[in-house]
Structure 1
Amino acid sequence: MGERVEPEIRILESEAELGEAAALFRTAMVALPSWWELPEGAASRFLEPGRTWGSFLDGMLVGTVDATSGRLTLPGGARIPHAAVTHVGVLPTHTRRGVVSGLVRRQLSDARDRGELVATLRASEATIYGRFGYGVASTSVSVEVDVRRAALRPDVPESGPVRLLTRPDRWEVLAEIHSRHLPSRPGTIDRSGYWWNSQRRRADSITEPMYVVVHGEPGQENGFACYRPLDTQRWFTGRTVAVDDFFAPSPEAHAGLLRFLLGLDLVEKLRFAALPEDDTLALLLRDPRAAEIRSVSDETWLRILDLERALAARTWRGSGSVGVEVTDSLFRDNSGTFEISPDGVRRCSAGTEADLSVDVADLGALLLGGVSWQRMAAAGRVRVHRPEAVDTADLLFSWPCVPFAGTSF
């Protein structure tokens, strides 16, 4: 065998190369619909300039990855610079050759140079990203509601008016609602204009009906839901509606939108694609078993890029302090021992003995408070040097609500 050739990795800038990257990603994913391919001359509407990377072998584009700049919410409400990583793809003829490794490492270094403290992604495969320092920091649940059994309790919060939006203006209204009412829940991310443009293109490409409903007075809307019927060929037997996007950041919006959806005529089941694990839906029903969790899925894969600044930005709870040793093989200056207490974080001097030792990927899973140190230690993902430190760390990292992004990209 000949000597292995290292690919050339660089930013893609021309419309032709960006279009080729979009087509490559569709090929890599095998089953994506045609709307994933960029219309000619439209790259600037869907891809942030300077954030799409390509890997070339013998002048041929064989892999790609891109990202969007934004903010992610930490426990305590701080919104930190964040890279939303997506479209990681390699031609099926060039897999297992280190193409993804080179692209992801280059992209993470670039994001760090931009001052972004974390990167997150949604993983198509669960075995790829841990080796690059990503850990699962939040999960989502899909819920199916039997509408025939789902009567609301009498103490459900009052809600405002609900109205359907028409096609011409709905995306602008939804973007405004989301940005104006961004929740303080850890893991929340903003939705860029590129994200909304993709949603519009996707919606315009499908022929099946899709509906959008908003909660609140015109100009003061504070929540929305996007829903569509399933299997319309069999609509009069087993009628089911999928709720693809349920944005209800307040109890009033949640109750109002749920009340509307439960009141849809001819519908027997509602399928909510993604809700946080602590969503109140079942608690609002007289019969909580009418809402059944159908699946639990990993949502946010988080990679800490600047450990000291990321730790300093979040709020800590409980009491006491704990010394956490972190190992990061990619960004060596992230490695070290950090003392964490309700008063903040400080880097310890070299040689300081730690209470707990963890890899940066597992600390990424713990950062938002959705995973317990006790559980990670029981799985062997944390090396425990002082047993009582595990409880202290759990109190420090805990948060009243579980992390959840609610945005797929």
Structure 2
Amino acid sequence: MTRDDAQPTSSEPTDPATPSPVTSTVSPPSAARGVRGADGIEIRKVTEAEYPDWMRAIAVGFLSAPAVTEAEIEGRRGGIDFDRTLGAVDAGRYVATYRSFPQTLSVPGGTLPSHAVTNVTVSPTHRRRGLLSRMMTGDLAAAKEAGTPVSTLVSAEYPIYGRFGYGPAARATSWSVELSRTGLDSRWSGPRDGGRIDLVPLDEVRKTGPELYTRFLARQPGAVSRDERWWQLATGEIQVPSMPWNEPFWAAYRSASGELEGMVAYSSDHKWDEAKQPDNTVTVEQLFTVSPEAERALWEYVCSLDWASRVRTEGRAPDDLLPDYLPDPRAARVRTHSDFLWLRILDVVRALEGRTYGVADSLVLEVRDGLGLAAGRFRLDGGPDGASCAPTGDAADLTLDAGELGALYLGDASAVRLAALGSVREDRPGAAAAAELMFRTARRPWCPDVF
């Protein structure tokens, strides 16, 4: 989770101090190692000895607590790569924090390595002094130099990261379902397609969950990789005091042929009303599948639990099928709907060649970038089978900032809408409509994880 000085909120079993399994050679450039500004504040890499002070600065920036316990410090230490952990030091004390880590991002037609950014804070005593700019610009330049095509983050506040070339690339929606109104058969006793659902213990989740999620990742643009530590946190093998863990129920769907195709994790608040009737709210913490049959079966399962009055979800895809699985879709209402995953193009050629496109066509894109990392004019020739991209001197069809290209990249934003808003300039009539057909995807991108 990233921001200047905001507090993240999530019940996902994620650890902001957890790197992903992708190997990376990125480290901040020498200019970001021990560089003191005119104000006397030094930007430098964090050492292991300084790590507790850096963690205290995170707690201050996120308004978590004025102090951090030893248990919290030690619980998060295992996920830290100190070569990619930065901070701003004033008078011997950390007053700003920043960290990046390697990640795999699912894109239309494949996956790409991504430079993920997290743990961004600036203490309230040091706001508006350019500390975030000093940390981020050097780090993004290093990622660009290392050949990483894109950077990702989850922004706690909307206005901050557009000025660094990020655009909102995937949104998330949380739902609340009143079970008395769904119209589902109260006698539901299992999947209608011959499959089966079983409760599974944590050791089985650790064994089978990662492989299933890898299959899910390959088909869900916007999803990001989960490493071993993620699964250890999700199943309670590692516990961090600031991330209270209560064991959820895990259930798995297997098809009629026995293939594992979906898993769900859910918990209940265990409440009764004044008439001594169960009035539980079931919270779906995880639900990922690789087939529509599994998705339907698992939603019908959690919406048919005895003693439950309602089901709530964490952030789901903005076009999630949940409401339309119900005979009465109005039983489901949106609790929150907002931007979620932000994306920054670092290498235009590699990024645009790394995904497939809805139709075969060509576009010349003039990309503007205040940081200079992605600026230039590029010809994209792409289609359902792949793409080629190269710098060109041809006249531009569309002119847009790096942030708008990031918003378009996963297929969620509309080029036609951005042109109507004035965020994209159409230099050739019809170019926005052509970009719409190329970039947009049939299903919207979705990132299930805070990081």
Regarding TM over 0.5, the answer is: yes
Q: 2:442 aligns with which of 400, 404, 407?
A: 400
Q: In 2, are the aligned partners of 1:11 and 1:53 still within 8 Å (CA)?
A: yes
- Confirm whether residue 89 of structure 1 aligns to residue 121 of structure 2: yes
Cα deviations across residues 33-67 of structure 1 (Å, max 9, x unaligned)? Answer: 99997645555522245222122223321111112
Amino acid at match of 1:210: P
Q: 1:391 aligns with which of 433, 436, 445?
A: 433
CA–CA distance in 1 between the matches of 2:69 and 2:293? 36
Q: In 2, are the aligned partners of 1:139 and 1:297 still within 8 Å (CA)?
A: yes
- Confirm whether residue 347 of structure 1 aligns to residue 390 of structure 2: yes
Partner of 2:78, secondary structure, is helix
The corresponding residue for 2:155 is 123
Amino acid at match of 1:8: E
Distance 1:390 1:38, change over 3 A: farther
In terms of fraction of residues, the more helix-rich structure is 1
- Confirm whether residue 300 of structure 1 aligns to residue 300 of structure 2: no
Q: Which runs of 5+ in 2 are unaligned?
A: 1-36
Q: CA deviation at 1:133?
A: 0.6
Map 1:40-189; keep pairs closer than 5 Å: 41=74, 43-76=76-109, 78-152=110-184, 158=193, 160-167=195-202, 170-189=205-224
Q: 1:8 aligns with which of 20, 39, 42?
A: 42
Partner of 2:298, secondary structure, is helix
Q: In 1, are the aligned partners of 2:283 and 2:312 still within 8 Å (CA)?
A: yes
Cα deviations across residues 201-258 of structure 1 (Å, max 9, x unaligned)? Answer: 4588637563322223899533222222247486957431221222223212212211
The corresponding residue for 2:320 is 279
Distance 1:9 1:378, change over 3 A: same
Partner of 1:115, secondary structure, is coil
Q: 1:192 aligns with which of 208, 224, 227?
A: 227
Q: CA deviation at 1:149?
A: 2.2
Distance 1:4 1:370, change over 3 A: same
CA–CA distance in 2 between the matches of 1:251 and 1:236? 34
CA–CA distance in 1 between the matches of 2:196 and 2:81? 37
Give me the identity figure in percent.
32
Q: In 2, are the aligned partners of 1:182 and 1:249 still within 8 Å (CA)?
A: no
Normalised to the residue count of structure 2, the TM-score between the two structures is 0.80
Q: CA deviation at 1:184?
A: 1.5
Normalised to the residue count of structure 1, the TM-score between the two structures is 0.88
Q: CA deviation at 1:124?
A: 0.9
Of residues 358-367 and 86-95 in structure 1, the stretch that sits farther from structure 2 once superposed is 86-95
Q: 2:248 aligns with which of 177, 190, 210?
A: 210
Q: In 2, are the aligned partners of 1:362 and 1:381 still within 8 Å (CA)?
A: yes
The corresponding residue for 1:321 is 362
Q: CA deviation at 1:394?
A: 0.7
CA–CA distance in 1 between the matches of 2:427 and 2:108? 26
CA–CA distance in 2 between the matches of 1:49 and 1:176? 29
Partner of 1:275, secondary structure, is coil
Distance 1:17 1:23, change over 3 A: same
Cα deviations across residues 157-215 of structure 1 (Å, max 9, x unaligned)? Answer: 62633233345564454334323442412212111234334444458863756332222
The corresponding residue for 1:382 is 424
Q: In 2, are the aligned partners of 1:136 and 1:365 still within 8 Å (CA)?
A: yes
CA–CA distance in 1 between the matches of 2:68 and 2:181? 38
Q: In 2, are the aligned partners of 1:64 and 1:88 still within 8 Å (CA)?
A: yes
